Amino acid sequence: MSKPTADVAGIAYALRDVTVEYGRTVALDHLSLQVARGTWMSVLGRNGAGKSSLIKLLATLLQPTFGQVELDGINVARKPGLARRHLGYVPQSGSLDGRLTVRENLEFFAAMQGLRGGARRSAIDQALAPFDAFADRLVAQLSTGQKRRVEVARALMHDPDIVILDEATAGIDAQSRQAIWDSLQQMRQTRRVTVIMTSHFIEEIGQTDRCCILHKGQLLGEWATPDLLRDYGGQFYRMTAKDAAAQDALLAALPGAAIDPTSGDVVVTLTQHDPALLALIAAHSARLHVTPAPLDRAIVEATARLAR
């Protein structure tokens, strides 16, 4: 069964004024967002920000209370089955049937996706290729990392245009995590696949093209990931003070400054360019090292500033 094609100005997802309510609780509040085809986007936010609701909405598992969601130009509320043929989804919790083998799980999914004949056999064989050693083992006997790799392979086997990963690498070993990212990168190199993900691993977020931050169900902003780091990450300063008096002066003048217990240096992250503070740092430092602040600092800073 061939998939329908759609081309709506290169947009994979279009959310228009979407609200999701659970009783009196508003999980998403008039959220509008567009995701271009081929983008790798991370969805960020504190616990309770609305990330899970947004991911379920994008995965067609949740309908908005108000507003409209389009996937590849398809109105998800009107044609959810058609939209799902464009979509691969790896949920946060395990979704394989432990009573079936790896092969049987993939065969069942291929049938659910409408794959038939040679296309079905080819898709299953390709998905099984990395798992030849345990293709006929019960899923219940696999490690957590092996299960997650199978779930990712299952999500990709029907060549989806969009892949959604909801903490797909949580609780697995580094080798399995890298295998998952390698398979996704390979797919993105050969096809214009859109990837939307949540993750607690900052190094995974740092690989994405774009990111958005949610707060209390609202969209605080969307950025190219390097722009978020540039605009909100600031600079990390490591200062070796000239003497004890200079150290005291630095600690007193720089908000959030602290002593590194290992080196004795004064360390601080500055997100604002203040000439007076920079002059003070230069005057009291015998040695100075400046590097970009880490991405997690930029996420925290952006959330704090924009949520005011």
- What is the rounded CA–CA span in Å between residue 298 and residue 225? 10
pTM: 0.81
Is residue 7 in some structural domain? no
Mean pLDDT over each residue of the chain, to the nearest integer: 89
Asked if 207 and 246 sit in the same domain, the reply is no
Q: Coil, strand or helix: which one is 296?
A: helix
Per-residue pLDDT tens digits for 13-49: 999 999 999 999 999 999 999 999 999 999 999 999 9
- What is the rounded CA–CA span in Å between residue 228 and residue 222? 8
Is residue 299 in some structural domain? no
124: nearest Cα among 143, 109, 142: 109
Q: How confident is the model at residue 6, as a pLDDT?
A: 41
Out of 195, 227, 259, a domain closes at: 227
Is residue 10 in some structural domain? no
Is residue 30 in some structural domain? no
Mean pLDDT of the region 296-302: 90
Per-residue pLDDT tens digits for 59-76: 999 999 999 999 989 999
Asked if 185 and 45 sit in the same domain, the reply is yes
Asked if 271 and 242 sit in the same domain, the reply is yes
Taking 60 as the threshold, does the pLDDT of residue 9 lie above it?
A: no
Is residue 19 in some structural domain? no
Asked if 221 and 170 sit in the same domain, the reply is yes
Asked if 151 and 286 sit in the same domain, the reply is no
- What is the rounded CA–CA span in Å between residue 278 and residue 113? 60
Mean pLDDT of the region 121-126: 91
Q: How confident is the model at residue 222, as a pLDDT?
A: 95
Asked if 212 and 249 sit in the same domain, the reply is no
Lowest mean pLDDT among 170-174, 213-217, 253-257: 170-174
Is residue 8 in some structural domain? no
- What is the rounded CA–CA span in Å between residue 111 and residue 55? 25
For residue 130, what is the domain's CATH number? 3.40.50.300
Q: How confident is the model at residue 2, as a pLDDT?
A: 38
Q: How confident is the model at residue 262, as a pLDDT?
A: 92
For residue 249, what is the domain's CATH number? 3.30.70
Domain count, the chain: 2
Asked if 137 and 103 sit in the same domain, the reply is yes
Is residue 13 in some structural domain? no
Asked if 280 and 180 sit in the same domain, the reply is no
Asked if 205 and 281 sit in the same domain, the reply is no
Asked if 109 and 251 sit in the same domain, the reply is no
Indicate the pLDDT class of residue 113, thresholds 50, 70 and 90: confident
Taken in order 206, 297, 37, 116, the sign of the CA dihedral is positive
Q: How confident is the model at residue 189, as a pLDDT?
A: 79
Asked if 46 and 100 sit in the same domain, the reply is yes
Asked if 132 and 206 sit in the same domain, the reply is yes
Is residue 18 in some structural domain? no
Query: Domain of 256?
Result: 235-292
Out of 174, 192, 227, a domain closes at: 227
